[in-house]
Structure 1
Amino acid sequence: MGSAALASATLVTSSWFCVLAVLAVLGDAFLPFLPSGTLVILAVLKTSQISGAPLFLAAAVAIASFLGDVLLLALARRGAPFVRRRLERRPQLAGSVRRIQQALDGRTSRTAAAVVIIARFVPGGRTALDLAMGHSPEPSRRFLRWSALAALVWAAYIVTLGWLNSHWFNTTWLSLAVSCAAATSISAGVARLVRRHRRLSIAATATAAPETVG
């Protein structure tokens, strides 16, 4: 195979990886088990030698992430049957939705934006967040502003992570392994901090309750 044909085949393969990654990001609002982060990192590694590819991929990932939020939010607002069934069948998800609604209730714009961005880094957090806002009296426009910001932050983070490791290591499999391990560790760390904050908030509320009664 000639060099031109090889380059063309590589470009086609890389394009398919990018399409698959973008579709996974779009869909993981509905199906949080999709390995969207892994697929984005793999797409970055496959296109890291193409000039400008990481920037275009980051933009596509951010748009797909935002559109996924818009679609799930719209379905939740309209009371789509599958949304109701999902909350009824998954008490843990329903509990997460309630906690996010409480976290956003009465918050300032800056604090609410932080909650939306942090939810992007917690496994399943994006789904719970979209459903929470879908059942909230808050106007959608306000949430979508934060969602767009969160999509940009997450896309920049995951693409940069893959791009950096593609330049630090000489093999794709090692770059992928290190990138995925780093992304998993960061997500686990954020989830741990969120759980700790929730426990402290519950403890503070329980401590303040007797004082209020007294």
Structure 2
Amino acid sequence: MSEAMMGIEAWVLGMADSPWLLVAVLTLAMIDGFFPPVPSESIVIAVAVLAMTGEGPNLWLLILVAATGAFAGDLIAYTIGTKVPIDRLRIFQGRRGQASLGWARRALVHRGTVLILSARFIPIGRVAVNMTAGAVRFPRPRFVLVAGIAAILWGGYATLLGMGAGVFLHDHPLVAVGVGVAGGVLLGFGVDALLRWVHRRLGSKLPESLGALDPDYVPPADPPAPGRGSDERTSTSG
């Protein structure tokens, strides 16, 4: 971890007895949703350790605050993806960033639920996936549902790392990421299956606005820009 990140963590932990501690957790978890260098996982883990020693907040409250911040950050990332050409963002200019975007685009087509859930446990991965989801117009209702589930899981997961068995995983970040991704993938398949079952059984009774929650839903293509279709037909006929 860089000195800057260690400085942020030390600053947050310095508020152990302050009501501003949870505000800091929420803010950092939210920023981490669209700016991966912010160490939100390590902050939540460290605050959970404080709670276990009696110096931090209630653990259930910590999970709620961390999940709320993560959810807000993921929605911001999705919205950014709908508004700006994400390929030009600085965090995606390098080889790793471009590879993450390409991977996200391909995987969203086939297993969007699994991808969004599992990517929440990978800092640059979740930013790439969520911004790409916005860029390719992944159905917003479905994204909100899956991102909410992912945020709750992530908040509980990071908090657990600060408790008992979490001490070992905190010292082995690759193991922690692996456990998180595996859990997200398994839950993703479960959510996919549940959504398909709901739409098979209740699809005709659901409001039209919930159609996008179907894992097999394909959003309609954007209409062509004014004049574009006629120009193309003209050029073709000529």
Check whether TM > 0.5: yes
Q: Relative to 1, partners in 2 of residues 1:94 and 1:191: Cα closer, same or farther, differing over 3 Å? A: farther
The one of 90, 94, 113 equivalent to 1:90 is 94
* Alignment counterpart, residue 185 of structure 1, candidates 175, 181, 188: 175
1:96-146 alpha-carbon deviations (Å, 9 max, x no partner): 1221121121x3xxx432221111222411111111102113222211211
Give 2:133's aligned residue: 133
Aligned partner of 1:150: which letter?
A
Aligned match of 1:76:
81
- Cα 1:43–1:97 change in 2 (3 A) is same
Residues 12, 190 of structure 1: alpha-carbon distance in 2 compared, 3 angstrom cutoff = closer
Aligned residues: 168
Deviation at 1:69, TM superposition (A): 0.8
Match of 2:200 in 1: none
TM-score (norm 2): 0.60
Alignment of 1:5-44 (within 5 A): 13=17, 15-44=19-48
Runs (4 or more) in structure 1 with deviation over 6 Å come to: 189-192
Checking the alignment, whether the CA contact within 8 Å between 1:14 and 1:47 is kept in structure 2 is: no
Report percent identity of matched pairs.
Answer: 22
Per the alignment, in what secondary structure is the counterpart of residue 124 of structure 1? helix
Per mean C-alpha deviation after superposition, the further-off stretch among 183-192 and 152-161 is 183-192
RMSD value, Cα: 3.0
Q: Which runs of 5+ in 2 are unaligned?
A: 1-13, 183-238
The higher-RCO structure (CA 8 Å, 6+ apart) is 1
Residue pairs, 1:39-188, within 5 angstroms: 39-48=43-52, 49=54, 53-79=58-84, 84-86=88-90, 89-105=93-109, 107=110, 111-165=111-165, 175=167, 178-187=168-177
The 2-side partners of 1:51 and 1:186 are apart by 22
More helix by share: 1
Q: Determine if contact 1:40/1:158 at 8 Å carries over to the other structure.
A: yes
Distance of aligned partners of 1:88 and 1:41 in 2 relative to their CA distance in 1, 3 Å threshold: closer
